């Protein structure tokens, strides 16, 4: 039987007119690294604060380890939290910050000193006990905040964009560290971020959120390769192509101009107005028409950008004004196409994912 660390059942939270969290249900497994990913203002922090008990939901139930804690105050829930702005106590040194929770729980001085010392080793800050908080770098403060929460051995650790304030290099280091620590301590992590890269690198599962609603909950590769709607498809990954048309069933999709494309099956979309999503790196480019059986579209190069590891083309064709293609830079003799050149685009049927059409798809805002 699967044990769940956190269960949210039909949680809704409004602030005045704004519905910050809209009927959210989630089940987070024990020892899972679970991310809540979405654009700014989509309700991630509010969801996390509801799990922590810092915010009361208007409706719904919060369970921790199977126990209903909806009306239990924060200090009685066995959770740890790392805040977006860390919220380290400025009037205490590193040692006292980490010891704070243990003191609240009435541990003996010996016990406290032993646990703090061990925790400082886990976050790789041994010998920093007597440092003042403002004498630490951003990354070190980050670790102290993590240690302060982890030393309590909480059943669930909630992290709200903890790497947001760090620059790219430390952020990448910290991602690896976080994952290592999570394995080492074996605690459930609920990680809030608007950075898909962070979510992809660390998570076992990701919940993509938009405007208070959970869009999809899946593993990083499924989220990337099998998005369930236009929002997820465009929010995740660098770029994606959409082609409008109707799904006819039997892996056949009729694009706008009447051209039939082979796609992966989606029984829900049969005979409905749909959209196919194709990742730019799944499309191949060539100057000859490919053999039959593959999707093939004739087009014209409108733009070419050399990006180092890859080359980005923008191609116009009759099924779409702009198809983006990424060609990996695999050899110095690789053929490069010039603007205005006629080319053929080819892709696997299963690279085309059929999604329900939305008249006004929610505009994903990408940050960072």
Q: Where do contacts with other proteins occur on this chain (CB under 8 A)?
A: 52-54, 73-76, 79-81, 83, 85, 87-91, 100-101, 104-105, 148-149, 152, 158
Query: Does residue 45 touch Mg ion according to CB under 5 A?
Result: yes
**Whether 341 contacts 300, CB under 8 Å:** yes
Count of C-beta atoms within a 10 Å radius of residue 295: 22
Distances (CA, A) of 349 to 20, 260, 321: 39, 11, 21
Select 197 or 318, whichever has its Cβ closest to ligand ATP.
Answer: 197
Helix (H) or strand (E) holding 184: helix 168-185
Which one of other proteins, ligand ATP, Mg ion, none is in contact with 41 (Cβ closer than 5 to 8 A by kind)?
Answer: ligand ATP
> Segment 12-31, which members bind ligand ATP (CB under 6 A)?
15, 18, 20
Query: Does residue 43 touch ligand ATP according to CB under 6 A?
Result: yes
Tell me the window of 20-28, 39-47, 196-204, 238-246 that interacts with Mg ion (CB under 5 A).
Answer: 39-47
Select 139 or 212, whichever has its Cβ closest to ligand ATP.
Answer: 212
Which pair of structure tokens corresponds to residue 295?
């999707």
> Segment 190-249, which members bind ligand ATP (CB under 6 A)?
194
Which pair of structure tokens corresponds to residue 181?
């620590």
Select 26 or 355, whichever has its Cβ closest to ligand ATP.
Answer: 26
Select 330 or 367, whichever has its Cβ closest to ligand ATP.
Answer: 367
In 3D space, the residue among 300, 317, 315, 319 whose CA is nearest the CA of residue 254 turns out to be: 319
**Secondary structure of 314-365 in the HEC alphabet?**
EEEECCCCCEEEEEECCCCCCCCCCCCCEEEEEECHHHCEEEECCCCCCCCC
Query: Does residue 77 touch ligand ATP according to CB under 6 A?
Result: no
Tell me the window of 37-45, 85-93, 103-111, 135-143 that interacts with ligand ATP (CB under 6 A).
Answer: 37-45
Is residue 305 exposed (0-12), middle (13-18) or buried (19+ Cβ within 10 Å)?
A: exposed
Select 45 or 295, whichever has its Cβ closest to other proteins.
Answer: 45
The minimum distance between CB 84 and ligand ATP, in angstroms, equals 7
In 3D space, the residue among 16, 150, 19 whose CA is nearest the CA of residue 78 turns out to be: 150
Contact set with ligand ATP (CB under 6 A): 15, 18, 20, 38, 40-46, 194
């Amino acid at each position: 039987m699967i044990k769940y660390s956190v269960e949210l059942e039909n949680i809704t939270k409004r602030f005045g007119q704004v519905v910050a969290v809209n009927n959210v249900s989630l089940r987070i497994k024990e020892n899972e690294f679970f991310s809540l990913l979405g654009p700014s203002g989509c309700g991630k922090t509010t969801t996390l604060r509801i799990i922590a008990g810092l915010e009361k939901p208007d409706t719904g139930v919060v369970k921790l380890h199977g126990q209903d804690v909806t009306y239990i105050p924060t200090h009685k829930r066995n959770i740890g939290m790392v805040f977006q702005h860390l919220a380290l106590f400025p009037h205490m040194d590193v040692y006292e910050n980490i010891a704070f929770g243990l003191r609240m729980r009435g541990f003996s001085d010996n016990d406290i000193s032993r646990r703090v010392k061990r925790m400082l080793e886990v976050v790789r800050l041994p010998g920093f006990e007597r440092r003042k908080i403002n004498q630490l770098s951003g990354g070190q403060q980050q670790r102290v905040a993590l240690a302060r929460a982890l030393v309590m051995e909480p059943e669930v650790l909630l992290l709200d964009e903890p790497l947001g304030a760090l620059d790219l290099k430390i952020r990448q280091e910290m991602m690896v560290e976080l994952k290592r620590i999570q394995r080492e301590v074996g605690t459930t992590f609920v990680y809030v971020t608007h950075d898909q890269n962070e979510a992809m690198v660390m998570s076992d599962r990701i919940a993509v959120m938009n405007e208070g609603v959970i869009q999809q909950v899946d593993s990083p590769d499924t989220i990337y390769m099998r998005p369930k709607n236009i929002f997820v498809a465009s929010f995740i990954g660098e770029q994606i192509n959409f082609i409008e048309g109707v799904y006819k069933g039997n892996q056949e999709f009729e694009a706008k101009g009447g051209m039939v494309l082979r796609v992966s099956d989606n029984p829900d979309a049969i005979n409905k107005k749909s959209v196919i999503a194709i990742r730019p790196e799944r499309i191949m480019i060539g100057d000859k028409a490919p053999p039959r059986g593959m999707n093939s579209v004739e087009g014209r190069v409108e733009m070419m950008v050399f990006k180092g590891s890859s080359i980005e083309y923008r191609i116009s064709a009759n099924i779409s004004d702009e198809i983006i293609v990424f060609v990996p830079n695999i050899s110095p003799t690789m053929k490069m196409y010039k603007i205005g050149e006629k080319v053929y685009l080819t892709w696997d049927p299963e690279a085309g994912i059929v999604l329900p059409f939305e008249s006004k798809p929610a505009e994903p805002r990408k940050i960072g």
